[in-house]
């Protein structure tokens, strides 16, 4: 009996422990579920509410306003303007997307090819991605779509911003242009911003627009909207505005830039004007030019073909992409290198019989009969070639190339423009690497007058001239400020040249423009306060054979255009207190004194006077022509509008 009672007691104890354990486990489970429910219902309420409402709430990106571009005085160069378009989201259009498109085309006239393109794009993109069906539609068309909204599920009339370039062709080679994002653009980006998937979203394609894309684009905002079962927007639930792109101010003066473009006209040419004190690029013009608005709106095949087939290459920015033999404008480099090395003095002379013989080969001077005895000033003034051949033989290519780089030739300047070229100050090592051949003495002779392997852009030649004028390492600056923040000056430190040597070079350049025997005397400035110092250049693009020299060298005007010499001119002014350095290159223009110097003189005066100079600044024989030119350019060239910092 006692044993049974003991067993009953033990069983009771075991049962109580198990019950307690199970009860505790149940309580823990209930508590865990309670905490989980509290976390889901309170802590994560917003997230699950959004998931529950995903069929009626959409979150859309709001494209930011693109940063605008202004000239140095605040005149607008690249701005935003309203643009009306019609977009469609495939997922919101229902099962029959083509039916909705047919209804839309009955309300708004849309070409069949545009409808086909939109349908193709919708099939290739995510279902929630808006696709542009019609762009740049009228306000009336936009209104009709809005009125018929119930019958057009997934279709949205939108007011966006599009790029506009009010000065047209004047700035296209500097600022470039924008265009819709292409598949090619997306393929180049590893993790593209969702903004780039928006319909017809515009990004920079070339020029400053492309180089400063990240600054100009801005950050997207978000829009939270409620839609009905048909996909129509019922109401706006919330909006977070994006961050607009930063505004950019250029160093370029729109008035001077426009004058340069107009003065170059339809020549295949380039002009650069640099402030010698700050390095600011006051003008950087390439001709012929084209209207960038054609690309923003979608250029036609015919218009694009006309640009690509033009032998004057309007799509190329010749100021930074074009590389030319600098010809006689390079002679200051050779002369300064020889002066700095102590090879010559100001009064030492070299006899020029019209040629020099090196390694059984004749190297000719442009003047067949020769210049006789010439010193530094007369050789530069009358552009004697033999004088510089002789200097190069004594100097050697390495020292010559080192001086060229010191003055900016063969240096790639970091400007926000497309395909800025490095140029070339050749050395023995360069030729070996490029051609697998040894340098020969004839290469040095050719390089001394800016021919052979030497190549420079108009920008580099303008920088070279600014450095000769100041003795400082002037650096070209294109952007004055970004979002109001001033960018570093291009003034540059002293280059360490002997000042007496620089004075000799400058005095010889002054004689080029102001001595009666100077090669640029015909393009001199008469105003004593603004007299310029310069140098003409004529660079050959073809070889002249000995046979041709015997029978008489063919005149440029008798040659096909693309076989004529390039015409160059560089200068700084005023001579006593340099303010601007200028370079003009006219492709296949012939002689530098005839084709390039008059243009450079006119541009220099325009920069110095801040507008049309008085006719008394020109030689009397030119005044009638200059007056007619000024009147014509006033009629033809677009005027920059008043500064406007507001956003479109």
Tell me how far apart the alpha carbons of residues 640 and 536 are, in angstroms, rounded to a whole number: 32
Mean of per-residue pLDDT scores for the chain: 88
Tokens of 399: 């020292």
| Domain assignment present for 18 | no
| Domain assignment present for 25 | no
Q: In CATH, what number is assigned to the domain containing residue 490? A: 3.40.710.10
Same domain, 99 and 143: yes
Same domain, 337 and 300: yes
Give the model's pLDDT for residue 19.
65
Q: What is the DSSP string of 110-173?
A: --HHHHHHHHHHHHHS-TTSEEEEEES--HHHHHHHHHTGGGSTTEEEEEEEEEE-TTGGGGHH
Same domain, 200 and 272: no
What pLDDT digit, counting tens, does each position of 430-488 carry?
999 999 999 999 999 999 999 999 999 999 999 999 999 999 999 999 999 999 999 99
For residue 294, is pLDDT > 50?
A: yes
Same domain, 402 and 523: yes
Q: 593 forms bridges with which residues in the sheet?
A: none
Q: In CATH, what number is assigned to the domain containing residue 111? A: 3.90.1310.10
Confidence of residue 44 (pLDDT cuts 50, 70, 90): low
Give the model's pLDDT for residue 609.
96
Return the DSSP state at 446: H
Same domain, 505 and 580: yes
For residue 328, is pLDDT > 60?
A: yes
Domain tally, the chain: 2
Same domain, 165 and 198: yes
Tell me how far apart the alpha carbons of residues 464 and 475 are, in angstroms, rounded to a whole number: 10
Helix (H, G, I), strand (E, B) or coil at 252: coil
Same domain, 434 and 293: yes
Q: Report cis status (omega within 30 of 0) of the bond before 288.
A: yes
Give the structural domain span for 611: 254-636
Give the model's pLDDT for residue 123.
82
Higher model confidence: residue 173 or residue 35? 173
What pLDDT digit, counting tens, does each position of 129-180 carry?
788 888 878 888 888 888 888 888 888 888 878 899 999 999 999 999 998 8
Least trusted range by pLDDT, from 22-26, 294-298, 396-400, 573-577: 22-26
Mean pLDDT for the stretch of residues 82-103: 85
Question: In Å, what is the CA distance from 457 to each residue of 319, 406, 413?
Answer: 6, 15, 11
| Domain assignment present for 14 | no
What pLDDT digit, counting tens, does each position of 617-636 carry?
999 999 999 999 888 887 77
Q: What is the DSSP string of 254-298?
A: HHHHHHHHHHHTTSSEEEEEEETTT-BEEEEEEES---THHHHS-
Confidence of residue 335 (pLDDT cuts 50, 70, 90): very high
Higher model confidence: residue 45 or residue 468? 468
Tell me how far apart the alpha carbons of residues 130 and 91 are, in angstroms, rounded to a whole number: 10
Mean pLDDT for the stretch of residues 420-430: 97
| Domain assignment present for 294 | yes
Give the DSSP H or E segment for 249: strand 248-250
Same domain, 435 and 358: yes
Q: Report cis status (omega within 30 of 0) of the bond before 219.
A: no
Same domain, 290 and 196: no
52: burial class by Cβ within 10 Å (0-12, 13-18, 19+)?
Answer: exposed
* Domain final residue pick, 203, 224, 250: 250
For residue 648, is pLDDT > 60?
A: no
* Domain final residue pick, 218, 250, 282: 250
Dihedral (CA of 593, 596, 602, 608) sign: negative
Percent of the chain with pLDDT over 90: 61
Confidence of residue 262 (pLDDT cuts 50, 70, 90): very high
Catalytic residue among 162, 268, 328, 523: 328
Give the model's pLDDT for residue 43.
65
Residue 300 bears catalytic tag: no
Mean pLDDT for the stretch of residues 124-133: 79
Quickly tell me which residue has 């390079």 as its tokens. 330
Tell me how far apart the alpha carbons of residues 385 and 383 are, in angstroms, rounded to a whole number: 6
Return the DSSP state at 542: S
Same domain, 273 and 209: no
* Domain final residue pick, 219, 250, 281: 250
599: burial class by Cβ within 10 Å (0-12, 13-18, 19+)?
Answer: buried
For residue 645, is pLDDT > 50?
A: no
Q: 445, 329, 468, 427: which is closest to 391 by C-alpha?
A: 445
Give the model's pLDDT for residue 93.
82
Tokens of 145: 């779509």
Tell me how far apart the alpha carbons of residues 477 and 384 are, in angstroms, rounded to a whole number: 34
Tell me how far apart the alpha carbons of residues 177 and 293 are, in angstroms, rounded to a whole number: 8
Q: Are strands 221-227 and 233-240 parallel, antiparallel or unpaired?
A: antiparallel
| Domain assignment present for 308 | yes
Least trusted range by pLDDT, from 92-96, 172-176, 424-428, 517-521: 92-96
Mean pLDDT for the stretch of residues 178-202: 81
| Domain assignment present for 44 | no
Least trusted range by pLDDT, from 212-216, 485-489, 643-647: 643-647
Give the model's pLDDT for residue 281.
98
Least trusted range by pLDDT, from 66-75, 114-123, 445-454: 114-123
Give the model's pLDDT for residue 230.
54
Return the DSSP state at 300: -
Same domain, 467 and 505: yes
Tokens of 193: 């911003």
HSE, side-chain direction, 13 A CA sphere, residue 28:
6
| Domain assignment present for 52 | no
Give the model's pLDDT for residue 442.
95
Same domain, 233 and 352: no
Mean pLDDT for the stretch of residues 116-136: 82
| Domain assignment present for 77 | yes
């Amino acid at each position: 009996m006692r044993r049974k009672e003991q067993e009953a007691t033990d069983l009771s104890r075991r049962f109580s422990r198990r019950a307690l354990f199970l009860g505790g486990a149940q309580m823990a489970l209930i508590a865990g579920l309670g905490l989980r429910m509290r976390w889901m219902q309170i802590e994560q309420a917003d997230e699950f509410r959004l998931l529950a409402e995903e069929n009626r709430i959409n979150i859309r990106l709001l494209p930011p306003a693109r940063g605008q571009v202004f000239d140095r005085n605040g005149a607008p160069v690249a701005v935003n303007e309203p643009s009306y378009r019609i977009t469609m989201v495939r997922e919101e259009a229902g099962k029959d997307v083509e039916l909705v498109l047919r209804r839309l085309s009955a309300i708004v006239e849309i070409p069949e090819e545009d409808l086909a393109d939109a349908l193709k794009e919708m099939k290739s993109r995510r279902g929630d991605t808006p696709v542009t069906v019609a762009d740049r539609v009228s306000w009336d068309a936009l209104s009709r779509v809005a009125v018929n909204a119930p019958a057009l599920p997934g279709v949205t009339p939108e007011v966006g911003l599009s790029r506009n370039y009010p000065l047209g062709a004047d700035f296209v080679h500097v600022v470039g242009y924008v265009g819709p994002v292409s598949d090619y653009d997306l393929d180049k980006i590893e993790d593209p911003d969702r903004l780039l998937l928006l319909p017809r979203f515009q990004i920079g394609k070339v020029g400053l627009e492309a180089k400063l894309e990240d600054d100009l684009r801005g950050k997207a905002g978000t829009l939270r909207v409620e839609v009905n079962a048909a996909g129509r927007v019922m109401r706006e639930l919330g909006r977070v505005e994006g961050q607009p792109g930063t505004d950019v101010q250029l160093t370029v003066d729109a008035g001077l830039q426009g004058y340069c473009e107009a003065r170059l006209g339809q020549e295949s040419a380039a002009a650069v004007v640099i402030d010698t004190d700050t390095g600011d690029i006051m003008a950087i013009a390439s001709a012929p030019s084209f209207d960038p608005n054609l690309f923003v709106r979608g250029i036609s095949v015919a218009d694009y073909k006309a640009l690509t087939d033009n032998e004057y290459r309007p799509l190329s920015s010749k100021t930074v992409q074009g590389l030319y033999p600098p010809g006689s404008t390079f002679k200051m480099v050779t002369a300064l290198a020889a002066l700095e090395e102590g090879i010559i003095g100001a009064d030492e002379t070299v006899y020029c019989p019209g040629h020099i013989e090196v390694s059984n080969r004749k190297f000719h001077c442009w003047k067949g009969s020769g210049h006789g005895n010439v010193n530094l000033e007369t050789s530069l003034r009358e552009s004697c070639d033999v004088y510089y051949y002789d200097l190069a033989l004594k100097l050697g290519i390495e020292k010559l190339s080192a001086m060229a780089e010191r003055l900016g030739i063969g240096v790639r300047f970091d400007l926000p423009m497309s395909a800025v070229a490095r140029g070339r100050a050749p050395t023995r090592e360069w030729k070996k690497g490029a051609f697998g051949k040894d340098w020969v003495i004839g290469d040095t002779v050719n390089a001394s007058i800016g021919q052979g392997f030497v190549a420079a852009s108009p920008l580099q030649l303008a920088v070279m001239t600014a450095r000769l004028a100041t003795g400082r390492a002037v650096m070209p600056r294109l952007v004055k400020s970004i979002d109001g923040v001033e960018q570093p000056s291009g003034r540059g430190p002293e280059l360490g040249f002997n000042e007496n040597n620089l004075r000799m070079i400058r005095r010889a350049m002054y004689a080029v423009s102001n001595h009666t025997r100077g090669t640029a005397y015909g393009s001199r400035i008469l105003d004593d306060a603004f007299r310029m110092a310069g140098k003409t250049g004529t660079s050959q693009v073809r070889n002249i054979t000995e046979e041709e020299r015997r029978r008489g060298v063919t005149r440029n005007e008798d040659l096909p255009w693309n076989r004529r010499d390039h015409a160059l001119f560089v200068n700084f002014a005023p001579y006593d207190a340099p303010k601007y350095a200028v370079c003009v290159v006219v492709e296949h223009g012939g002689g530098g004194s005839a084709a390039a110097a008059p243009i450079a003189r006119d541009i220099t005066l325009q920069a110095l006077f801040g507008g049309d100079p008085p006719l008394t600044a020109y030689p009397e024989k030119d005044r009638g022509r200059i007056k007619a030119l000024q009147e014509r350019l006033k009629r033809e060239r677009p005027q920059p509008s008043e500064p406007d910092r507001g956003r479109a």
